[in-house]
Amino acid sequence: MPLDHYVTLGRSGLRVSPFALGAMTFGEDPGGAGCSVEESEKILETYLDRGGNFIDTANFYTNGYSEKILGDFFAARPGLRRHVVLASKFFTNLFPGDPNGGGAGRSSIIAQLDETLRRMRTDYLDLYWLHNWDRHTPLEETLRTLDDLVRAGKIRYIGFSNTPAWVTAQAQTTALLKGWTPLIALQVEYSLLARTVEGELAPLALDQGMALVPWSPLKNGFLSGKYRRDTRVTDSARTAFVGGPGEDEFTVIDAVAAIADELETTSAAVSLAWLRAREGTVVPILGARRVEHLDSNLAGLEVTLTPEHLRTLDEVSAPALNYPAPMHGALRAMLQFAGTTVDGETSAVYPPLSQSDVRY
């Protein structure tokens, strides 16, 4: 599946590549996690040459430098910007001491968007994400402001990131009831090593026709293939910040590596192919500090996992979900169906009683 075999993003007419390009690493910063302007542009050119069209950043990535690199890149190539889907995020306050410099209030959203558009040298964004939940601002204020910006032509679509499912559900319901712009996608942490999104947010997205756009689909590089039990990784800034994999994580890493060896591909490609195979529309965000990182990740488009591969990965990475998720599996079926088959789902009997045992 090439990058130019597009998918619609959620319940919208926006066509995007099956993998997005994340620009969090664009721009050198004091932490050393970013890359130079030259390397950033090489990564962009490689992604676009392969048919990619979906680029994601945020206002605070490398202190705004990421947005500026993207803006300069497209400004130097007249006519190209309108053929790509540019997304950025708001929420983070870039002005110490100013309580209205960030968050999701009306004045702060408008100010943040104006700064983003200035840095990106464009007059609109295709997709604007709320980067985090602002519990100090009424949800209606955030949604009405975003709808006003859509009507003004400054943004085209909206999405939420890192926001609780109950808040997201309330937002979507409010938008639909009031005729405001609805959410079309959720940007979430999701990988073989981070599956708790499957408790609430993923089912919500599937029900509401929202796409999932996973960040860190290789879990801080743990699923990239360079982490092995017998190999010491000294990835300077990132390893110092997040540490290394634990025993439970290595169990998953080993299973991924075994399938990668069988298919003669990389662990990164297998991990990304697993995400692509999830139910609904799932568009992982690829991060890269070098062109070869991007090339390795794009191999995930060429891998098709068998049902047995998927079953193995599902089982080895099965998450422990918070209540009430554990009540919604086999126990729910036993309590509800009482040994019958409904919609293809067959249950045992719980409790194991016969009709004659029931006390009236």
- Which residues are marked as active site? 61
Q: Which residues contact 206 (CB under 8 A, 6 or more apart)?
A: 279, 280
Q: Which residues contact 231 (CB under 8 A, 6 or more apart)?
A: none
In angstroms, the CA 65 to CA 60 distance is 8
DSSP secondary structure code for residue 338 in this structure? T
Crossing angle of the two packed helices 291-298 and 267-276, in degrees rounded to 10: 50
Taking alpha carbons only, the member of 62, 59, 58 closest to residue 25 is: 62
Residue 116 identity (one-letter amino acid)? T
| Helix-strand-coil split of the chain, %, nearest 5 | 45, 15, 45
In angstroms, the CA 126 to CA 246 distance is 39
Residue 35 identity (one-letter amino acid)? C
Alpha helices (H) along 122-223 = 139-151, 165-178, 201-208
Structure token pair of residue 287? 């991060």
Torsion angle (degrees, nearest 10) of CA 59, 60, 64, 69: -70
3-state secondary structure of 15: strand
In angstroms, the CA 275 to CA 279 distance is 9
Asked if 156 contacts 150 with a C-beta cutoff of 8 angstroms, the reply is yes
Q: Which residues contact 302 (CB under 8 A, 6 or more apart)?
A: 1, 265, 269
Phi/psi for 207 (5° steps) reads -65, -40
In angstroms, the CA 125 to CA 155 distance is 5
User: At which residue do the structure tokens 């870039």 appear?
Assistant: 94
